[in-house]
Chain A
Amino acid sequence: MSDVVNDLSCNLLHKQFDDFVAVDKLSFEVESGSFFSILGPSGCGKTTLLRMLAGFEQASSGDIFIKNARVNDVAPNHRPLNMVFQHLALFPNMSVAENIAYGLKRRKVGRSEREQKIKRVLQRVGLDGSEHKGISQLSGGQKQRIAIARCLVLEPSVLLLDEPLGALDLKLREHMKVELKHLQQEFGTTFVYITHDQSEALVMSDKVAVMNHGRFEQVDTPQRLYANPHSSFVAKFVGNTNVVRGRIGDVGANSRAKVELGDNLSVPASNPQDLAVGSNVELFLRPEAIELTGDATASQISGVFKELLFDGANSTVIVQTSVGDLQVRLPQQKPFELAKGSVVYLSWSSEQCFCLAAENN
């Protein structure tokens, strides 16, 4: 253990169901007061991990520490952490105040103190005065905030959140993302948030762990995760990207390489894993890193304009090239006349193009 008090840390945490490994000898630490996200596709073991942290699932081996105290053998109702459930699990037969009071009553908090705490926490989540409302009278976003208030009123060391935004419509989800981040900053509680939505994780988190097959592929800040993914899985899962299969033709200094993409086409790229000549790689190119240009000499590749996917500021163009269809982000700096079937040239700076060892499948 390190000297720093981490709110949550795990050491070789392992969970096995019969012959299926859900969580594979995981070790990580979550800094106090940070927003930590676990991002992964469904079936990657993130829910099992969260349920082990909450105490609803027993670890097969390994340790869980909360504030440096081992909690493996502590029952869920005695762990100093609380959980916001996927469907919130607000008690429908109780009012807002009764829902929040439930945990306080279990701690034997006196009536007057209880009422004060409820009032204060409702103010902090911006719902003061709704003590006596029924749960069914609340909107989706309000329910969200009550579910969080119900946990935060207990001042837990760690708050676990199990994809609580999944059930909301898009507009509200965008809004709640920002609001959750602000709530976390205001309360200063450590949040552990699991999600399969990379945009939720990137917007809200201080650190994101990308999980796959029961392991963390990379634990990093959202910026580094996006710019410097350590594995091909992370690069594909975080953000939108073009993937082209190829082979390393030549390596240079400072982790540079030339990647052969077939048809005598080879492009310069960064090679952060320092892969040897001849390795099978995947070349990653973010849509916003590619520029459409009319100048054939300055471009890396030419293609045919195939389709425009208009989505306001997120509009993309699909260009058919010899290495497959590439997505290119619009609007570009220069105005560009586009007609279906016209020839376009694509260019990008070699810094923004990187190759990683190809996944086995």
Chain B
Amino acid sequence: MRRLGIGFYLLLCPFALWLLLLIILPHLNMLEVSLNLRSYTTPKSYTFQNYLNFFEQPLYWNTFVRTAWMSILATLLTLLIAFPMAYYIAKLAKGRSKTLLLMACILPFWLSELVRTYGWMIILRESGLLSGLLRYFGIIENNIEFLYNDASIMLGLVYTAMLFMIVPLVSALESLDDSHIEAGYDLGGSHWNVLREIVIPHAMPGIVSGCIIVFMLSLGNYLTPNLIGGKDSLWFTEQIFTQFITRFNWEQGSAFGILLLLLSSLIVYLGLLLSGQTLSKTMGK
């Protein structure tokens, strides 16, 4: 076997450092902190109490379940909205309009997420654009607060995640040969048949990788639920923030962080099993 030269190790170096210093070490450290018993009197000792708290306190557990469900719903909604858009961009739009449409999807992401979220707040707040417009057209009499509810959180999550669904879908659909779609029709298939038997199976790796990214982004999102949903939006990342910053309970916060990592990985794993895909198939292309 050929020995790997110094060039290989030099190229590997940034990646290995990044993985070790920014991913592995902090997580190991967090794992260690999460197993510490929080006490000011006894010397340092290890316990599972921080993890047990999660399962014993209904608030923590329910917040997590709510966050997971909302994220799954946001993922499905994003997929439903993004699929026709991606299909149009990949298959129907030609030349310049294709580039323009893709640009239009990417353009909002040139702004920071914070600015975009404040944009939505300007539209949705009680004295905001939407409320004002509805009043102007006489549809409502008094201003309505559109912020601080689950629907507005969902709106924010779907909006934030849209691009990360469209891009993998467009690239998956672009690789589908038009003649396969035509052959589907030629052999007597209806629109629905062709979509279900030919287009979706082909786009499946793109669908799954888009869903994984969107789900992870939603689950770990802090800004959108907090700003659009308000302080009582019960998002799991807020619980972690509260433990670390407000209550200064780093042990509990670390345990929540580790749990979020494990539980979200489990959900992604179940999703892959359900759709019959593998991680290497969806990410490896």
Interface size on B, residues (CB 8 A): 17
Q: How far is the CA of A54 from the CA of B182 in the complex (A)?
A: 10
A154 within 8 A of B: yes
A93 within 8 A of B: yes
Which B residues are CB-close (under 8 A) to A78? 188
Are A87 and B182 in touch, CB under 8 angstroms?
no
Nearest CB in chain B: distance from A202 CB, A = 27
Q: How far is the CA of A239 from the CA of B122 in the complex (A)?
A: 75
- Contacts A102-B197, A106-B193 given; indicate if A87 touches B179 (C-beta within 8 A): yes
A interface footprint on B43-86 (CB within 8 Å = 1, 0 otherwise)? 00000000000000000000000000000000000000000000
Are A103 and B182 in touch, CB under 8 angstroms?
no
Are A107 and B180 in touch, CB under 8 angstroms?
no
Residue among A78, A93, A107, A154 facing the most chain B CB atoms (10 A cut-off):
A93
Which A residues are CB-close (under 8 A) to B185? 55-56, 75-77
User: B188: which of A85, A87, A91, A107 is its contact (CB, 8 Å)?
Assistant: A107
A49 within 8 A of B: no
Are A93 and B186 in touch, CB under 8 angstroms?
no
Q: How far is the CA of A78 from the CA of B202 in the complex (A)?
A: 24
Which A residues are CB-close (under 8 A) to B198? 91
- Contacts A87-B179, A102-B197 given; indicate if A82 touches B189 (C-beta within 8 A): no
Closest to A85 in B: B179
Q: How far is the CA of A106 from the CA of B187 in the complex (A)?
A: 8
- Contacts A77-B188, A102-B189 given; indicate if A89 touches B183 (C-beta within 8 A): yes
Q: How far is the CA of A82 from the CA of B201 in the complex (A)?
A: 23
Are B177 and A87 in touch, CB under 8 angstroms?
yes
A interface footprint on B167-189 (CB within 8 Å = 1, 0 otherwise)? 00000000001011011111111
Interface residues in A247-261 by Cβ distance below 8 A to B read: none
Which A residues are CB-close (under 8 A) to B142? none
Closest to B204 in A: A93
A16 within 8 A of B: no
Nearest CB in chain A: distance from B94 CB, A = 14
Q: How far is the CA of A307 from the CA of B1 in the complex (A)?
A: 53
Closest to A151 in B: B187
Are B186 and A76 in touch, CB under 8 angstroms?
yes
A86 within 8 A of B: yes
B interface footprint on A121-146 (CB within 8 Å = 1, 0 otherwise)? 00000000000000000000000000
Interface residues in A42-56 by Cβ distance below 8 A to B read: 54-56
Q: How far is the CA of A82 from the CA of B189 in the complex (A)?
A: 12
Residue among B180, B182, B183 facing the most chain A CB atoms (10 A cut-off):
B183
B190 within 8 A of A: yes
Q: How far is the CA of A89 from the CA of B177 in the complex (A)?
A: 8
Nearest CB in chain B: distance from A147 CB, A = 9
Are A154 and B182 in touch, CB under 8 angstroms?
no
Which A residues are CB-close (under 8 A) to B190? 77, 106
Residue among A55, A82, A85 facing the most chain B CB atoms (10 A cut-off):
A85
Are B188 and A86 in touch, CB under 8 angstroms?
no
Nearest CB in chain B: distance from A341 CB, A = 53
Q: How far is the CA of A292 from the CA of B263 in the complex (A)?
A: 87
Residue among A55, A76, A89, A91 facing the most chain B CB atoms (10 A cut-off):
A89
Are B189 and A106 in touch, CB under 8 angstroms?
yes
- Contacts A93-B202, A102-B197, A106-B193 given; indicate if A77 touches B177 (C-beta within 8 A): no
Are A77 and B189 in touch, CB under 8 angstroms?
yes
Are B180 and A91 in touch, CB under 8 angstroms?
yes
Nearest CB in chain A: distance from B250 CB, A = 49
Nearest CB in chain A: distance from B47 CB, A = 51
A215 within 8 A of B: no
Nearest CB in chain B: distance from A2 CB, A = 28
Q: How far is the CA of A93 from the CA of B202 in the complex (A)?
A: 7
Q: How far is the CA of A75 from the CA of B184 in the complex (A)?
A: 12
Are A77 and B186 in touch, CB under 8 angstroms?
yes
Which B residues are CB-close (under 8 A) to A154? 187-188
Are A89 and B180 in touch, CB under 8 angstroms?
yes
Q: How far is the CA of A29 from the CA of B185 in the complex (A)?
A: 25
A83 within 8 A of B: yes
A150 within 8 A of B: yes
Are B182 and A89 in touch, CB under 8 angstroms?
yes
- Contacts A93-B201, A106-B193 given; indicate if A83 touches B188 (C-beta within 8 A): no
Q: How far is the CA of A86 from the CA of B186 in the complex (A)?
A: 14
Which A residues are CB-close (under 8 A) to B202? 93
Which B residues are CB-close (under 8 A) to A102? 184, 187, 189, 197
Nearest CB in chain A: distance from B276 CB, A = 11
Nearest CB in chain A: distance from B8 CB, A = 33
Which 3 pairs show the lowest CB-CB distances between chains A and B?
Answer: A103-B187, A106-B188, A89-B183
**18 A-B pairs, CB-CB below 8 angstroms?**
A55-B185, A56-B182, A56-B185, A76-B186, A77-B185, A77-B187, A78-B188, A82-B187, A85-B183, A89-B180, A89-B182, A93-B202, A103-B187, A106-B188, A106-B190, A107-B188, A154-B187, A154-B188
Q: Which residues of A contact B (CB under 8 A)?
A: 54-56, 75-78, 82-83, 85-87, 89, 91, 93-94, 102-103, 106-107, 150-151, 154
Q: Which residues of B contact A (CB under 8 A)?
A: 177, 179-180, 182-190, 193, 197-198, 201-202
Q: Apart from A83-B183, A106-B190, A154-B188, what are 16 other A-B pairs with CB-CB below 8 Å?
A: A76-B186, A77-B185, A77-B189, A78-B188, A82-B186, A83-B186, A85-B179, A87-B179, A91-B183, A91-B184, A91-B198, A94-B197, A102-B187, A102-B197, A103-B188, A106-B189
